[in-house]
Amino acid sequence: MAVSLPTKYPLRPITNIPKSHRPSLLRVRVTCSVTTTKPQPNREKLLVEQRTVNLPLSNDQSLQSTKPRPNREKLVVEQRLASPPLSNDPTLKSTWTHRLWVAAGCTTLFVSLAKSVIGGFDSHLCLEPALAGYAGYILADLGSGVYHWAIDNYGDESTPVVGTQIEAFQGHHKWPWTITRRQFANNLHALAQVITFTVLPLDLAFNDPVFHGFVCTFAFCILFSQQFHAWAHGTKSKLPPLVVALQDMGLLVSRRQHAEHHRAPYNNNYCIVSGAWNNVLDESKVFEALEMVFYFQLGVRPRSWSEPNSDWIEETEISNNQA
């Protein structure tokens, strides 16, 4: 049953409001301005060095006992900052000591070459020294690859004899463009010392032209392998035309081939003379087999087995200039 309730004040629509009192539509334009700042990459890398120190012993005899003591070594963390060398960094400049070592290395090579040429003419031998020289060129590329693989994957800056080279090659993966900023003697002096101490005794002890045909070519390629390496990082338009031609012919390691070495997984294209051995070594997995042998025999893992971290990822020169 519907009940109708009377209302004392019935509701009616309001229609008699003057226009001057009616609300009007307010249009508002809102403009938002946002300024973003691109975060600058941090050029500095935090290195954590761990060392252990012994805690001081107490002088109280009552606190000392004959029971085995727990290890009292305390972990001390030292922090130091590492950044890429600048274009005008003194460490990239050649010194007179560098130049003297390069001159000494080149002198031993010249003596070996002279003995090969003169001895070949005196013995009426031309083909044999030339073939020996070609063998030296081929094996130098193989030797550069084996050495490059070894210092890329094993040891650190504390390794005797080659520790500084290991540290330099690790930094090279982070900042590969710095090798193009190194001056000539600065880039070659370390290898020049090795060549001087190796080839000089051979110059004094042997006169065989075939032997020196191999020695002078092999040693020449090893000495200048770092320069070939630097050219492989250079820009084509800035390289000498002869160098570009030799790279295109495959006589020197090419820029494209060596660029693969600086891409993940960072475990290929190690040879830096001509690069002729790179495909052979990579396709036959020679280095992977050696890594397995070292791991099962010595328990040492190569760095290439680890997930690439910031030490392996290239930091471009552009990002460094912006930082």
Q: Model-level pTM? A: 0.69
User: Is the pLDDT score of 75 beyond 60?
Assistant: no
SS3 content of the chain, % helix, strand, coil (to 5): 55, 5, 40
Return d(Cα 189, Cα 169) in angstroms, integer: 15
Taking residues 275-297, report their average pLDDT. 95
In angstroms, the CA 227 to CA 117 distance is 25
More confident residue, 229 or 43: 229
Asked if residue 319 has pLDDT above 70, the reply is no
For residues 97-111, give the mean pLDDT: 98
Q: Could you give the percent of the chain with pLDDT greater than 70?
A: 67
pLDDT of residue 25: 46
* Average pLDDT score over residue span 255-272: 89
CA proximity to 301, closest of 311, 292, 313, 314: 292
User: Which residue is associated with the tokens 């019935």?
Assistant: 10
Q: Where are the beta strands (DSSP E) in the chain?
A: 45-54, 73-82
Domain locations in the chain as residue ranges: 87-322
Name the β-bridge partners of 52.
75
* Residue 17 pLDDT greater than 60, yes or no: no
Question: Does the pLDDT at position 216 exceed 50?
Answer: yes
> Could you give phi then psi for residue 9, rounded to 5 degrees?
-125, 90
Residue, of 31 and 309, whose pLDDT is higher: 309
Residues 6+ apart with CB under 8 A from 73: 52, 53, 54, 55
Does residue 51 carry a pLDDT above 70? no
Mean pLDDT score across all residues of the chain: 78
Which range scores top for mean pLDDT: 25-34, 45-54, 108-117?
108-117
pLDDT at 89 over 70: yes
Q: Provide the percentage of residues in the chain whose pLDDT is more than 90.
A: 50
pLDDT band per the 50, 70, 90 thresholds, residue 136: very high
Average the pLDDT over 251-280 and give the result: 91
Please check the confidence at residue 97 and state whether its pLDDT lies above 70: yes
Q: CA 275 to CA 225: how far, in whole Å?
A: 11
Per-residue model confidence as pLDDT tens digits over 233-252: 999 999 999 999 999 999 99
